[in-house]
Structure formats: C-alpha cells, structure tokens
Amino acid sequence: MDKPITVLVLCTGNSARSVLAECLINDLGGGRWKAYSAGSRPTGTVNPLSIEVLKEKGHSVAGLRSKSWDEFGLPDAPKMDLVITVCDNAAGEVCPVWPGHPSKVHIGFPDPADAEGSHEERLAVFREVYGMIEAKIRRLIALGPDRAGEV
C-alpha cells in the first residue's frame, strides 16, 4: 500500500470541529488517509459532547486529545500533505510553516461548542455539525487531496 495521505485539521481550540473531522477522515479514509488535529490555542480537553457524538456514531475516541499546532511544526512531526482549517478564526491566523509545504484549504463550519440550552439541545447541535463535516469529508475523500479546494 502506498503511503497514506496525511492531513492536519486545524481549529482554534481543538476540542470539537477539528476532532470530529480527524476521526471522520481516519475512519472514512480506509487506511488511505491519516488525519491529525490541533489548535492555535487548544483548550486542553476534547469537548465531552464531541466524545459523545463520536461514540454514538461508532468512532473510537482512544487517544483523542486537544493539542497545539506547534507539535506538528517540529522536525520529528509527521509530514502533512494537506492542512485544513475548519473554523474562521484559525483560517485567519498566521500559521506556522509546515514541514513539506502541504496544500492548504479552508472548510468552515459553525462552532457547536457555542450551542446553548439543555444537554439534549446542545447535543443536537453537535450532531448537526457532525453531519455537515461528514458530508464534506466524504466529498474530500472522493475527490482526493489535489481537489480539496472544490469541497
């Protein structure tokens, strides 16, 4: 098998959207894609509602953590083929220079962490955003990394 396409999904807090996208790419990519996620200002924890939605959709949550994008600029970090920003804040920030000079694309989604209301109301928002991300990730995988801008 060829080397998988490596993807870094970025958001500001690395607690919701980027983590959801990481899991979706890894699971839907069928071993041909390998995703990581990080944030410019990570919260330090993955949002519990992200974990809840991922589990109910059948994803493994083992090893998920909120981490800084600085980890992926280190010399021993995996070399990325594609960097995806999923929140408007991260898209507008000055990103580190990534080893290997990967392609970059912005695919924005609303922040489910901003949802208010009861647990069920907030969970419904996380499910909705998960569905939006899933649709875009399925399209990305179908098109391939060279056509990521068409997603």
Helices 17-28, 119-143: crossing angle, 10 deg rounding: 50
Of the candidates 33, 36, 143, 41, the one whose C-alpha atom is nearest the C-alpha of residue 98 is 36
* Known active-site residue 11: yes
pLDDT single digits (tens) 21-43: 999 999 999 999 999 999 989 99
Kindly report whether the global pTM for this prediction surpasses the value 0.85.
yes
pLDDT single digits (tens) 126-143: 999 999 999 999 999 999
pLDDT single digits (tens) 51-100: 999 999 999 999 999 999 999 888 888 999 999 999 876 555 555 666 66
From 5, 7, 10, 11, the catalytic residue: 11
- Cα(100)–Cα(114) distance, rounded to whole angstroms? 34
Q: What's the domain range around 129?
A: 5-145
Residue 25 lies in a domain: yes
Residue 28 lies in a domain: yes
The pLDDT of residue 119:
97
* Known active-site residue 23: no
Q: What is the CATH number of the domain that holds 89?
A: 3.40.50.2300
Number of domains composing the chain: 1
The pLDDT of residue 33:
97
